[in-house]
Amino acid sequence: MFPETGTGSLSVAPAATAVFTAVLTEGPLSRVTLARRLGLSSAAVTKAARPLIDMGYLHELAATERTGPGAGRPASPLAIRSDREFFVGVKITADELIGVVCDLGARVRAAAHRPLTDTGVEAVLTELGRLVDELLDGPDDYRQRTRRLGLAVSGDVDRSTGLVRYSPFLRWHNVRLRERASLLTGLSVTVENDVKALTAAEHWFGEGVGVESFALVTVGTGIGCGLVVNGRLVSGAHGVAGEVGHIGIDATGPSCHCGGRGCVESIAGTHAIVEQARDRTGRSDLTIDDAVALARAGDERVTAVFARAGNAIGTGIAAVANLVGPARIVVSGEGLAVYDLFEPHIRAGFERQAFGAAAQCPLSIRPLPFEEWARGAAAVSIQSLVVS
């Protein structure tokens, strides 16, 4: 067992934390590269890396490059030993639990789903316990090297305490999820808003690596947004920073479940699209799959619904670009399985409303399976190892 702080993070010097984080997110890296990037001497990097090598978190690769012009000794890059420890991540939705086991590099090693017929806290915790057992006691026996569980939940979540203040889709209020899940599983638990968890994964292990500022916008049942500014995930004073889904873009638009009117989510969320498609077609039993099929078949009544939704999303994204000025914006989520119906309208709405040079911000638009949300939860638990 390696030394830890009371919060469960690695108990090592700040320089070691900086070295570990750099290698984890951007490695393998030579000591010379680390010294230059972190503003340390090569000797300081070697000293910082030694306990992490001794604990099995880092290892040296075969020499691949020389340390500089005329240098006689090739560099041996430092790399993460990815199987040193494993992390469980679970995304909680109103319909199912999606769980993964990730290694230290956030690569998914195993995945499992469990349906939910009851979103009550007790019922969800019961299924969570079964899912964790299924993941950890499978043929690869991850339990012996797994001590952390990350949970991703929609809504207002206090990561510092693990309290779910409000989750509209689960209808939860003031649930002490970290405490209860830890007692249930025996693992150290981190709870985060699902969009922020996904943003953390992109920041450390995806398109946000090496970028000081970026935004992740998710499209699906809700419209969410995670923000990284100056290299840090922004939570805001009240924990609800980045709620692009509740930017009002049409004062005469439909009512939103948040109490507002004309929010992006009230126009472009999955439920909103279904309601609009039902109104336009007169089919009260129409589902989202029906709406997609009609739109792809060329039904102008329904294609107009998706066009309006895409424009609303693009307008909301433009507001983010105008206010924050990110270097990159990733648009993803399970709703982009209908990428072909959304994409041109998202771009059009963005280009219309983005101010000046903000319109030059690159948009990366791609669909996302639910396993990636669970990977985001695991990524947050990986962060908890490093950052207290």
* Number of domains the chain contains: 3
Question: For residues 118 and 88, is the Cβ–Cβ distance under 8 A?
Answer: no
Specify whether 161 is located in the same domain as 214. Answer: no
What are the start-end ranges of the H helices in the chain? Answer: 14-26, 31-38, 42-54, 121-136, 177-185, 194-205, 264-268, 270-281, 288-296, 300-324, 339-353, 370-386
Q: Is 164 helix (H, G, I), strand (E, B) or coil?
A: strand
Give CA–CA dist 8/189, Å, rounded: 10
Supply the range of the domain harboring residue 143.
Answer: 85-200+372-386
> Which pLDDT does position 1 carry in this prediction?
34
Q: Average pLDDT in the 354-378 region?
A: 89
Q: Above 70 in pLDDT, residue 2? A: no
Residue 10 pLDDT grade (very low, low, confident, very high; cuts 50, 70, 90):
low
Q: What is the DSSP letter of 14?
A: H
Specify whether 34 is located in the same domain as 118. Answer: no
Specify whether 152 is located in the same domain as 60. Answer: no
Per-residue pLDDT tens for 183-224? 999 999 999 999 999 999 999 998 888 888 899 999 888 888
Give CA–CA dist 41/120, Å, rounded: 54
Give percent of the chain with pLDDT exceeding 90: 64
Give CA–CA dist 327/15, Å, rounded: 28
> Which pLDDT does position 273 carry in this prediction?
95
Identify the domain boundary among 30, 45, 80.
Answer: 80
Identify the domain boundary among 49, 80, 111.
Answer: 80
Per-residue pLDDT tens for 155-192? 889 888 999 999 988 999 999 999 999 999 999 999 99
Mean predicted lDDT score pLDDT of the chain = 89
Specify whether 173 is located in the same domain as 101. Answer: yes
